[in-house]
Amino acid sequence: MGGIFTQLFPPKPTFTEKNVPSLVGKVFIVTGGNSGVGLELVKILYSRGGTVYIASRSTTKIDAAIATIKSIFPKSSGHLKSLRVDLSDLRTISACASTFLAQESRLDVLWNNAGIAQAPADSTTAQGHETNMGVNCLGPFLLTKFLLPILLHTAKASPTASVRVVFTSSCIVDVAGPPGGLLLSEHISGNFSKDKNYNYSSSKADDPIMGAYTELWAGLSPDVKCEDGGKCALPWGRWHTDPRKDILQSMKSKEEGGTGLSADFWDWCEQQTEAFAAM
């Protein structure tokens, strides 16, 4: 319960726009960057001179967000660009990645920020997956897979631990996540749970700017090291010190004394996206 309390009443942020150095020459992708927390994050990155790709389903909404941000920071030397992607349709992921790779030779941070909460219990993605799982997990999984080579390429010529992938989640993982994090058997077509809260918590992950500080810290803070990979960041920029023990066990292999569920889930994601993994 202590882990929940500290998320509901977090300390002041220690890494904000005031701490971000010049981002000139750096390239970022923020999915869902046209609204909410993602929009606030894009504002910070752009204000510091970064090149930021806003990835979303609606190019109209992306264009509107770009116009708004440029009006707020008219003197920025940064660049804002549009990427269309529909995370509920795996067929769009390859085109999104291809569009980006045709324009850039580096990618410093990928923020998988976009997501959906409490989709109707009987709704599915274009490929027939439960909607929360498809949008919050499978879509970002495939996008990250496509972009991993350029991330690795960028990392070779960048300071240690400065190239990162950040997945946005939710405190509902601690509050309502099923035992171990999820039950793979309930994500077989035709066997989906009808509980919207359950489906959302299985897929996860105030003022929007405060949420952006958490993502900013995870993506750019020098306090984040290589050995921190896989950890959960809490508001407004710190590590979760009391995660659920069953989820920690799921992250360990059976040989390490865990359940191996994370590896099973990874394999399942590979299987579900395999048909769409070619450029």
SS3 152: helix
Query: Does residue 43 surpass a pLDDT of 50?
Result: yes
pLDDT tens for 108-157 read: 999 999 999 889 888 999 999 999 999 999 999 999 999 999 999 999 99
Q: Is residue 275 part of a domain?
A: no
pLDDT tens for 207-260 read: 789 999 999 999 999 999 999 999 999 999 999 999 899 999 999 999 999 999
Q: Residue 67, by phi and psi: left (phi above 0), alpha (psi -120 to 50) or beta?
A: alpha
Q: C-alpha dihedral over 235, 143, 153, 41, to 10 degrees?
A: -30
pLDDT tier for residue 195 given thresholds of 50, 70 and 90:
low
**pLDDT greater at residue 197 or residue 101:** 101
CATH code of the domain in which 101 resides: 3.40.50.720
Q: Is residue 210 part of a domain?
A: yes
Catalytic residue among 204, 213, 250, 262: 204
Q: Is residue 45 part of a domain?
A: yes
Q: Domain tally for the chain?
A: 1
Q: Is residue 155 part of a domain?
A: yes
pLDDT tier for residue 205 given thresholds of 50, 70 and 90:
very low
Q: C-alpha dihedral over 42, 48, 49, 50, to 10 degrees?
A: -40
Catalytic residue among 46, 53, 198, 200: 200
Q: Is residue 41 part of a domain?
A: yes
Asked if omega into 266 is within 30° of 0 (cis), the reply is: no
Q: Is residue 252 part of a domain?
A: no
Query: Does residue 8 surpass a pLDDT of 70?
Result: yes
**pLDDT greater at residue 169 or residue 2:** 169
Query: 112 - beta bridge partners?
Result: 167
Q: Is residue 180 part of a domain?
A: yes
Catalytic residue among 82, 169, 201, 262: 169
- Domain with 81, as residue range(s), is 2-244
pLDDT tier for residue 4 given thresholds of 50, 70 and 90:
confident
The question of whether 200 is a catalytic residue gets the answer yes
Q: Is residue 126 part of a domain?
A: yes
The question of whether 169 is a catalytic residue gets the answer yes
